[in-house]
Structure 1
């Protein structure tokens, strides 16, 4: 994804951006009607009571300030709850929730609209026709606020709850993994081995790679007649020990800077191109639920069910072998790493719980049956989970786990 697309995509998901956009539209309408009213070919006048518009706008300004404060408190509480009961990696998904952003933007925009309207009325800015337009616009704003409040009440019933968090993480993981399954190398050539003579390109500062602009890398590689072997894919660490890429061919400072600029290195990982982060987040949710302080195997089982759906979605994708970037080589994320990320922490922390151990075996056996070519990887993870359970369970539960494994993995 290009730098411009990444910037615009992230900008649209910022809480302040949507609120600022709604506010600007509201202020623009409140100001423009003072100029548009006298230009209309007819005179839309209503017999308005003394101070009717001003009273309504006063009520809106007062109530919207209070409702905005309440909404912000509810949102911050949901963010804190997600970090505490699930995983901090889920917080960014709640922050990007469109419904809460639209609600907050509507309330802030309505507050700004009413405030500007009150000031304009008190200064005599509006002629009679514009006062009528302001009144009609205010009625529309009231209707929008009522609908938004009803949606917000319904949304708060589930916003930030465990089921909501798991669903959000599952969707983010499924979208990224489906993209990965269709194009594991993202349109580049699969990287098998890097020539010993290749020259490394390091990041300007350490961090996590969140996005790679493959189009820019291809243009730079083609113009410089070089081959670029990408090492630090999205989600991987780039530092003085791990380079961003290796270059086969002549490498000068300008080319190295151009290649370096195509990698977005940040302090925190992002779900956009990182196929492992969503799986890790689901695993963390299940693992935290199994801690002695929480002791909630039901949530761990829900997380395993979400992992099963995510891996199933990945297996159902059709591979796209089209080569888009012939000068680039990229090392895809291995399925073995994804399986370990998803199931090893839950199998480890739930080793002493027979219900969790059985669910792990059932999920892995189901995925192995659906993807026979990867049977060995799922069977290896199941065997590791079985050994952990056998070492932690009492004799009766250990026997039940062994019997279930023999039945599932015949």
Structure 2
């Protein structure tokens, strides 16, 4: 038996009933992000600007025809890729995070919890294996190399964040792993034959408890059950709280199901450490500006900023580590409502009260027009402009690299 499947079989998972925990925004019961007419969800803030898929395609096509589009050069070398080194056991003295490309992070918590965020290991982020954005950096390892996966956390249903082949491989290797996703996504998992899937709305949380399984004489029991909030299993070894939180984005699996499912960021607390995974998000809706004009200049200082991040910081912060997107932002007039650029990312970092952060959502697929190494360069500029050291606080790392946080 592989090390991955052995680790999965040694732990059974107990999950509490969903609940609102701690302080929440005053208007949380209004559920303003639920579409009032018809099915689905909305971004309920002035910082959002809606564009249909066809409007986006028309704009991007015209930019290419008119010669205004930039075609990023993916000729190597681009982002360094190294083979990851995972811990050999669940003994983890410090919080440890490994970037596996794009928005995928593997986080090893003190106390033993192992969480995989937005895993996509395929060559293309597309419903098709033969077309769509193709990786310009390889995955740093196969899924089989990951020794233990207790929770898989999905931010939303876009193909660069939710992959059917990857999810099915995880199910095969780690049958006791639980999948967490925003509201409306459980059906996708059930239709895929996965019943260890839990969906949550914004500001809802669950307590998770992993207990060692009896393996006497080679017998492996296990599985999962849902218990009432506040109860505890008899033999508790690893505990965590996972909470679904807001972000500003969209979701779809086709041209005809936009926003039928919710998008979210996530907070996970375990082993005395708290991690915030931003998922995929925008911060401000920036208008079409002349080339080179600073959308953070005085002229645009009053552009609305998404208030959700300050709420997260005030009500759930501080976080020991934030995993925050910095890429897929050009052209700003199209992408800014849904994708943060590094200047947005630094503001999100400050709003959410993260003590330290690592960057993501770049360096893997060409999804937009900025040069592939530009996000890392601009992040340093954005940090410096905010009076934050360029290194050691909000960092860029190599794909496959692990960082530890005391």
TM-score by length of 2: 0.26
TM-score by length of 1: 0.26
More helix by percentage: 1
Q: Computing the radius of gyration over CA atoms, which structure comes out larger, 1 or 2? A: 1
Where relative contact order (Cα < 8 A, 6+ residues apart) is larger, the structure is: 2
More strand by percentage: 2
